[in-house]
Amino acid sequence: MSEADTEEKQRTPLDPALVAERVTRPLSLISAALLFAVIAAVITALYTPPPFDQRGITAIFCADPADFAPEPLERLLFFSGVVIVPVLLLAGQIVFSRLVKLLPVKIMAVVCRWTVPVVLAMVSALALFVVSSNPYFLEKSVFNGTGAMLATVVAAILLWVILLSGDEKGIVSHLRVPIRRISLAVAASAIILVCLYSIIGLESIENLPIFYYSFNAVFHAVVQVCAGKELLVDLVHQYGLYPHFIEPVFAVIGLSVLKFSLLMSLLMGVALVCLLRFILESSSSRIIGYLGFVCLVYYSFFFSRVVHQPDNFFQYHPIRFFWPAVAVYFVFRYLQTGTKRLYLTAHLLFALSVLWNFETGVVVFLSWLLVLIYQEAVERNFRRMGYHFLTSAVSLSLVTGVFVSYMRMRYGSFPEFGGFFQYQQLFYLYGYYMMPMPLWHPWMLVILVYAHGLLASVRPVADRRYSGRSAMIFFLSIMGVGLFAYYQGRSHDLNLLAVSFPAILILILHADKLANRACSAPLPGDRYLFLLITFCFVFGSATYLMNIPAITGTIISRIRPVLARDNTVVTRNVDFIRRNSFRGEKLLILSMHSGIYYLESGTVPPLKIPGITELLLARDFNKIVEYLGSAAEKVIVDRQFISLHPELAELLEERFRIRELSPAGDIGIMEKVQ
Q: What is the pLDDT of residues 122-135, one digit of tens each?
A: 777 777 777 777 88
Domain that holds residue 244: 202-255+567-672
339 lies in a domain?
yes
Rounded Cα distance between 118 and 427, Å, is 43
The pLDDT > 70 percentage for the chain reads 92
In terms of Cβ atoms closer than 10 Å to its own Cβ (0-12, 13-18, 19+), residue 409 is exposed
Same domain, 1 and 128: yes
Domain boundary among 520, 549, 584: 520
Same domain, 408 and 443: no
Q: Picking from 347-356, 521-530, 542-551, 629-638, which range would have the lowest pLDDT averaged per residue?
A: 521-530
Same domain, 337 and 372: yes
Same domain, 128 and 18: yes
223 lies in a domain?
yes
Q: Picking from 79-88, 98-107, 203-212, which range would have the lowest pLDDT averaged per residue?
A: 98-107
558 lies in a domain?
no
Listing DSSP states for 309-326 in one string gives -----TTTTTTTTHHHHH
Rounded Cα distance between 103 and 109, Å, is 10
Same domain, 489 and 516: yes
Rounded Cα distance between 239 and 243, Å, is 9
157 lies in a domain?
no
166 lies in a domain?
no
Rounded Cα distance between 71 and 412, Å, is 40
212 lies in a domain?
yes
Q: Judge whether residue 344 has pLDDT over 60.
A: yes
Using 50, 70 and 90 to split pLDDT, how confident is the model at 406? Answer: very high
The pLDDT > 90 percentage for the chain reads 53
The continuous run of DSSP H or E covering 62 comes out as none
Domain boundary among 520, 554, 579: 520
Instruction: Note the pLDDT tens digit of each residue in 613-643.
Output: 888 888 899 999 999 988 889 999 998 888 8
172 lies in a domain?
no
Same domain, 497 and 610: no
Same domain, 592 and 655: yes
Rounded Cα distance between 25 and 115, Å, is 10
Mean pLDDT computed over 574-581 = 94
- Looking at residue 522, its pLDDT comes to 57
Q: What is the pTM of this model?
A: 0.92
Using 50, 70 and 90 to split pLDDT, how confident is the model at 109? Answer: low
Same domain, 440 and 408: no
Rounded Cα distance between 247 and 236, Å, is 16
Q: Judge whether residue 318 has pLDDT over 70.
A: yes
Instruction: Note the pLDDT tens digit of each residue in 284-313.
Output: 889 999 999 999 999 999 999 999 888 888
Using 50, 70 and 90 to split pLDDT, how confident is the model at 319? Answer: very high
The continuous run of DSSP H or E covering 244 comes out as helix 242-253
Same domain, 108 and 218: no
282 strand-pairing partners: none
635 lies in a domain?
yes
Rounded Cα distance between 601 and 583, Å, is 6
Same domain, 467 and 576: no
Same domain, 478 and 409: no
The continuous run of DSSP H or E covering 635 comes out as strand 634-638
Q: Which residue has the higher pLDDT, 60 or 256?
A: 256
Mean pLDDT computed over 271-285 = 94
Q: Judge whether residue 426 has pLDDT over 50.
A: yes
Domain boundary among 360, 380, 414: 414
Compute the mean pLDDT over every residue in the chain, rounded to the nearest whole number.
Answer: 87
Q: Judge whether residue 202 has pLDDT over 60.
A: yes
Q: Picking from 162-176, 337-351, 363-377, 502-516, which range would have the lowest pLDDT averaged per residue?
A: 162-176
Using 50, 70 and 90 to split pLDDT, how confident is the model at 169? Answer: low
Mean pLDDT computed over 536-559 = 95
- Looking at residue 373, its pLDDT comes to 94
Same domain, 388 and 346: yes
Q: Judge whether residue 10 has pLDDT over 50.
A: no
Q: Judge whether residue 593 has pLDDT over 80.
A: yes
Using 50, 70 and 90 to split pLDDT, how confident is the model at 2? Answer: very low
Listing DSSP states for 394-457 in one string gives HHHHHHHHHHHHHHHHHHSS---GGGGSHHHHHHHHHTBT-BPPPSSSTHHHHHHHHHHHHHHH
Rounded Cα distance between 190 and 194, Å, is 6
| Count of C-beta atoms within a 10 Å radius of residue 450 | 22
How many domains does one find in the chain? 3
Rounded Cα distance between 28 and 552, Å, is 46
- Looking at residue 635, its pLDDT comes to 94
